[in-house]
Amino acid sequence: MESFIYTASPGRVIFGSGSLSKLPEELEREGRQAALILSTSFQAGEAEKVRDLIGSRAVGIFTEAAMHTPADTTERALAVAQNLKADSIVSVGGGSTIGLGKAISIRTGLLHICIPTTYAGSERDPKIFPSIVIYDVNLTTTLPQSHSATSGVNAIAHAVEALYAPDTNPIIKLLAKEGVRALAASLLVIVKDGSDLEARSKALYGAWLCGLCLGSTAMSLHHKLCHTVGGSFDLPHAETHTILLPHTIAYNNPAVPEAMRDLAEVLPESNGDAIEGLNALLNQLRVERALKTFGMKEEDVDKAAAIAMENRYSNPREVDQEKLRELIRRAWAGEPAKTDL
């Protein structure tokens, strides 16, 4: 067997239906008396429920979390935390809220408790792990079916890149394959019946595993492109991941045959071809496939390719700017992914 190094992700995970009820005792266990609750404006209701649950241990709610964690939003949240003398942060929501919680925690050292309500896996970002993550399937039942699909594919992207990461290992590959298998199967059910709790629970489990992959290995071309395209042109995070994923996999396909076999093994209707399996999954999930739908202009394609080439990063196949430009153009136009680049 090959030699490898595996570092387990730190943190405490509480998983299960109704597990949000454990939050008060978790705060007590950590000796925290002044939690600041974070959310977006759209999830202010969930933040209020958390406040009511923990009672006097809540010192306030900040509901201005936004996509890509704007610096001015972080500064305002920091000021609120300091003014209220918060000793902990509780973020309830998706990547925007959890990203804000991480930004505050890394600057202040405050205890960060994440309560994810999507499948994106942002709570496992390697830059800073939260101390506690509470996965309660009941909080995901109101996630729209269309958003569930793109959020789940976002999580799948973490596992895909972990399969061919330079620092991957047999443990991570097991987590990645199980995560993709669980998400692919459950998302197909959720888009037909968003109230199916068993499918919702399985999707949350898969997202957790895929998030562990994100936090344990180096990400490559796909994540680099998503950050470049999404951040530079203000595109929705999960949708950008969903659109780009088949194209980035197709680009790296020649360099990672083992990873492609592993991926094909866990995707339904793959017929032994990972790209075919992913395309079939996305078609059945009825997700949008073109970046232009979300406001990216054709003249932005060259700019995106140039920005993506600015900083070196690990990737199993050398990245060529002209080929990268064509990859982005195909994603912009919503064309099928091809392995001819």
How high is the pLDDT of residue 266?
A: 98
CATH 1.20.1090.10 for domain 145-333, yes or no, is yes
Domain ranges of the chain: 12-140, 145-333
How high is the pLDDT of residue 125?
A: 61
For residues 163 and 178, what is the distance between their CA atoms, to the nearest angstrom? 12
How high is the pLDDT of residue 145?
A: 97
In the chain, what is the straight-line distance between the N-terminal and C-terminal CA atoms, in Å?
33
What is the block-wise mean pLDDT of the chain (341 residues), using blocks of 10 residues? 75 93 97 97 96 98 92 96 97 93 94 94 66 94 96 97 95 97 98 97 96 90 93 93 97 97 96 94 97 96 95 90 97 94 92
For residues 341 and 334, what is the distance between their CA atoms, to the nearest angstrom? 16
How high is the pLDDT of residue 329?
A: 98
pTM comes to 0.92
Cβ–Cβ under 8 Å, residues 296 and 307? no
Tokens of 290: 């073109």
Provide CATH code, domain 12-140.
Answer: 3.40.50.1970
The closest alpha carbon to 131, from 261, 269, 243, 30, belongs to 30
How high is the pLDDT of residue 16?
A: 93
For residues 304 and 298, what is the distance between their CA atoms, to the nearest angstrom? 10
